[in-house]
Structure 1
Amino acid sequence: MPVDGRVARGDATRRLVLRRAVDVASVHGLAGLSVGGLAGELGLSKSGVFALFGSKEDLQLAAVEAAQGIFAEHVLAPARATPDGLPRLRVLCESWLDYSQQRVFPGGCFFFNVSAEFDAQPGRVRDAIAAMGRAFLAEIRACAAEAVSLGQLDADPELLAFELHALGRAANADAMLHGSAEPYRLARRAVAARLAQGQST
């Protein structure tokens, strides 16, 4: 069955708007998104963009979902292509730090920034952001648990996941605030040291 040209154009416009939306939100926050602003930046009609999303909250939720897909591509996919256990855990941490340092989003880690923005604001947007945060922490914990079960690490998977997650968040925050790559270097050293400390002998 041939694809309706209007549907294809609508999908392409939606992708274009969301790619710009996640970049804007990574710097200015999800509250800084507006249908009119994005339409003006991209040379699109406001009514056309509004028809794709319907409300500011729908736009924010779509931006979170789009950012999640980009995060998965840059962070989760490389790890999941790596053997189970400690190798996967290492790649997961390295990919996360690379994603932040390379500014896949211009404002650093999208989810770190919007989490701070919405952590005290109940609603669907915070729920979506929180779900992503829980899922990523669970991914780290699952990798750590697999490394323990394979005899590669002697550690508490829950505590180790919390520590590694904290190191990545601290590196992103300090690097953005101070405009320096040094926090990433330190985080990589700290991750390597923590994993070496936990390696079974």
Structure 2
Amino acid sequence: MKPLDGRRARGDESRRAVLARAIDIASVNGLDGLTIGRLAAEVSSSKSGVAALFGTKEGLQLAAIDTARGIFTASVIDPARTQPRGLRRLCALLQNWIDYSAGRVFEGGCFFFAVSAEFDSRPGALHDAIVRAVDERDEYMVANIGHAVNQGELLGTTESRQLVFELTALIEASNSYSLLRTSAEPYEFARRGVASRLLAIGANSTVLAEAGLIDPIPSGSGTGRP
């Protein structure tokens, strides 16, 4: 079994290396720009070798979406899980998301912002895979907004899906403006916008400061809603 295990390990390693380059290409050029031939050239492999890993162009594209989803989860959602459910976890997720985009985890910025614009009106397997990934993120935020409301951390009148829409718009706009203008300033605008929106619905400013969404609160100062 050792030779087979060795070949499988090498195959898995090759697949990971190819996908790492694939998601960078797709973040810049979109999924349509991701072809087996181009990828083979960029990773110094043969077309047949790359095809053996993914089968078809669509298979490659679906694998890229799944890999990007895993990276987003590991970079943004999983670290937020160290915080208690509710406002603290929501704030950690939002700060992680801003840092993930600003840190250019993908060469072209946020992978899902790029490919969502590409496939939003194109039904099919790729569209559906993107929707599943975006829904997973959004539902996680909706759940924690619900916990925050139930725990008295946000106003009871808070509309979870409306709030997710607005917060997402701020962060995605910062990604787009930052890329277009080669500037980090839009991320600061996003932080301010996110913080302002949360404070308006009763969020405790100390919690926002602890997450990095606003500057630390000076000792002895008011902390907003208790």
Instruction: Name the amino acid aligned to 2:26.
Output: A
Q: Deviations over 1:93-125 (max 9, x none)?
A: 100011001100010100000000111111100
2: distance between equivalents of 1:9 and 1:40? 19
CA distance in 1: counterparts of 2:165 and 2:5, whole angstroms: 47
Match of 2:68 in 1: 67
Alignment of 1:171-186 (within 5 A): 171-186=174-189
1:88 aligned onto 2:124: no
Match of 2:161 in 1: 158
For 2:116 and 2:140, locate their aligned partners in 1 and report how far apart those are by CA, in whole Å: 18
- AA aligned to 1:153 is L
CA distance in 1, matches of 2:140, 2:187: 21
Counterpart in the other structure of 1:40: 41
Name the counterpart of 2:79. 78
Distance 1:6 1:45 in 2: 17
Displacement after TM superposition at 1:185 (Å): 0.3
Q: Which structure 1 residue ranges, 5 or more long, are not aligned?
A: none
* Alignment of structure 1 residues 11-30 onto 2, 5 Å: 11-30=12-31
1:193 to 196, 205, 210: 196
Distance 1:11 1:123 in 2: 27
* Alpha-carbon distance between aligned partners in 2 of 1:158 and 1:24, rounded to the nearest angstrom: 32
Letter in 1 for 2:195: A
* Residue identity in the other structure for 1:42: V
> What TM-score results when the alignment is normalised by the length of structure 1?
0.96
Give the Cα–Cα distance (whole angstroms) in 2 for the partners of residues 117 and 16 of structure 1.
24
155-164 or 185-194: bigger deviation: 155-164
The whole-number CA distance in structure 2 between the counterparts of 1:173 and 1:157 is 24
Q: Deviations over 1:148-180 (max 9, x none)?
A: 011111122222111111111111111112221
- Deviations, residues 46-69 of structure 1 (Å, cap 9, x unaligned): 211111111100000000000011
Offset of residue 27 of structure 1 = 0.4
- Percentage identity across aligned positions? 53
Question: For 2:197 and 2:186, how far apart are their aligned partners in 1?
Answer: 16
In structure 2, the gaps of 5 or more residues are 204-224
CA distance in 2, matches of 1:57, 1:158: 32
Instruction: Choose 1 or 2 for highest CA Rg.
Output: 2
Worse-matched range after superposition: 34-43 or 142-151: 34-43
**AA partner of residue 159 (structure 1):** Q
Give the TM-score normalised by the residue count of structure 2: 0.85
Q: For 2:163 and 2:123, how far apart are their aligned partners in 1?
A: 29
CA RMSD of aligned residues (A): 1.3
Q: Contact 1:171–1:183 at 8 Å: present in 2 too?
A: yes
- Whole-Å separation in 1 of the counterparts to 2:202 and 2:162: 15
Superposed displacement of residue 45, structure 1: 2.0
Q: Which amino acid aligns with 1:108?
A: G
Residues 114-139 of structure 1: CA deviation (Å, up to 9, x unaligned): 00011111110011001111111111
Look up the equivalent residue of 2:132 and give its one-letter code: A
